Amino acid sequence: MTQSIQGRERVRYSIDKGRGLIVNTAEGCVKFDDIKDHQDRLLADSRFDVSFDQLIDTTGAIRFDMSDGEARILAERPIVSPESRRAFVAIKPHIFGLGRMMEIYHESLGYADCQVFYSMDQAFNWLERQQENI
């Protein structure tokens, strides 16, 4: 079961079919089960398309409470296609480091192109530039 913050999920998503973009948002203290449940919901959503790019916004997260092994399990799940791009945004150094770990896992497995950013503007600019080059 997904934990919630005052009636809201800790990890949620929206799908913008017009832009081919999945926006994931994490808030509060996020645990392994929160993300695993989130990934399961996303994969089961009929609007989901593996070719979409993904923006992971962790700016509202306080911390991610999981082991290195649990982080690896989550990063190893192929959610989007290898041609997709994932922008991970973090403003806290320890969460930025988790994003870098995800980036390295993805690179070693040949998954989606992943970049980590400190600002949403940088992430959106990177995603938009990549879409213009298609």
| pTM, 2 dp | 0.86
Q: Model confidence over 80-124: pLDDT tens digits?
A: 888 899 999 999 999 999 889 888 887 877 777 889 999 999 999
Q: Model confidence over 32-82: pLDDT tens digits?
A: 999 999 999 999 999 999 999 999 999 999 999 988 889 888 888 888 888
CATH pick for 4-132 out of 3.40.50.1980, 3.30.750.24, 3.30.360.10, 1.10.1040.10: 3.30.750.24
Contacts 24+ apart (CB under 8 A), 15-21: 15/45, 15/47, 15/48, 15/52, 17/47, 17/49, 19/131, 20/49, 20/51, 20/52, 20/53, 20/131, 21/52, 21/53, 21/54, 21/55, 21/127
